[in-house]
Structure 1
């Protein structure tokens, strides 16, 4: 087989794919029109995302994360499911001087246990749930002021706006990932997950 990257040059480092075992520790859904989520026992998912959830839909409107489009441009919804890890939220809470940050305060849908450094999962990671659902990770979920303001209000911070501004700094690379539904079905609390991390590389043109 032709070696595309001669050893002497080493322009690209290839990291092999791997599998991880995890668990759906907690599930949440947001009623229509509400950013904050509420605990549920199961999530019913279609190709548009979680049925009835605030972030459901085949498309969404662009915002501050997409400066290359005029705000409000209709685009593909790759943010159907928000996934976080409890250990990462604990770090963010400590940085903000809080006792805790609850997943529902920042609109999370799924808390996963068993994946080290969950927020660093690369795009393309597949999450296979035991009962049949498959989610595909799109990207890290960048922390924003909306979530920060929700945290400040729910935790009783004296200065709400200061809390809103602090969260994006404290939660950088710790706010979890967003994913979209590749194979629909129902996710139940406590369900086993097989995470398949794809082969990775750093692209240097």
Structure 2
């Protein structure tokens, strides 16, 4: 049977928000060069298609973990978590909720701190980040806070209960822990350079 070209019961599209661009700047560049996930300030970030050269999270693939319960733990999969991006204002909010004075981005393995773009952790998947120096990163999605990062924070507050702080981070940093991204166009990122977030058209897929 041939379907009509314009069926009367064609689905109604959801509301579509237009694409837009938001400008910000890089306030810190960091890399994990010591064989573990905590990072440190570096002069610049050299990006290849595998991520940051020498970084703990670099590579074309990675091993699945607790974030991917649909695979057996340790399954080799595409590395969409090459770069960790955070915002200082969101970390400050999480720290206040945890009852501590700060969360330094290097404690939780961040590679980039971006200022000037509101709600960095809520930037939608597929968003492109165009850096002044020529690098383009593609956001995979938000970076859910975990106990490992919480424990790393707790090490800097020995007078407080480590378990409570680690658990507190998971709650306080939900949708405030930044996003993860992968390298779409390689190059070098320097502290202080401008960055433009290109947010594609957005809509909420209707559940029927």
* CA-CA distance at 1:158 after TM superposition: 2.1
* CA-CA distance at 1:10 after TM superposition: 4.9
Structure 1: state its 5+ residue gaps.
none
Q: 2:99 corresponds to which residue?
A: 97
Distance 2:173 2:159 in 1: 17
Q: 1:132 corresponds to which residue?
A: 134
> Equivalences for 1:18-167 in 2 at 5 Å?
18-167=20-169
Is residue 2:199 matched to residue 1:197? Answer: yes
* CA-CA distance at 1:156 after TM superposition: 2.9
Q: Aligned pair count?
A: 200
Task: Summarize deviations over 1:61-103 as a string: whole Å, max 9, x none.
Answer: 0011000000110000000000000000000000000000000
Secondary structure of 2:38's aligned partner: coil
Task: Summarize deviations over 1:94-153 as a string: whole Å, max 9, x none.
Answer: 000000000000000000011101100000100001111000000000000000000111
Task: Summarize deviations over 1:11-68 as a string: whole Å, max 9, x none.
Answer: 5111111001110110100014211000112000000000000000000000110000
Secondary structure of 1:21's aligned partner: strand
Distance 1:34 1:68 in 2: 26
TM-score normalised by L of structure 1: 0.94
TM-score normalised by L of structure 2: 0.92
CA contact (8 A) 1:157 1:163 kept: no
CA contact (8 A) 1:83 1:109 kept: yes
Distance 1:161 1:97 in 2: 14
Task: Summarize deviations over 1:134-186 as a string: whole Å, max 9, x none.
Answer: 00000000000000000111233521112111111111110000000000000
Structure 2: state its 5+ residue gaps.
1-5
Distance 1:144 1:80 in 2: 17
Q: More deviation in 161-170 or 142-151?
A: 161-170
Q: More deviation in 89-98 or 29-38?
A: 29-38
Distance 2:159 2:22 in 1: 37
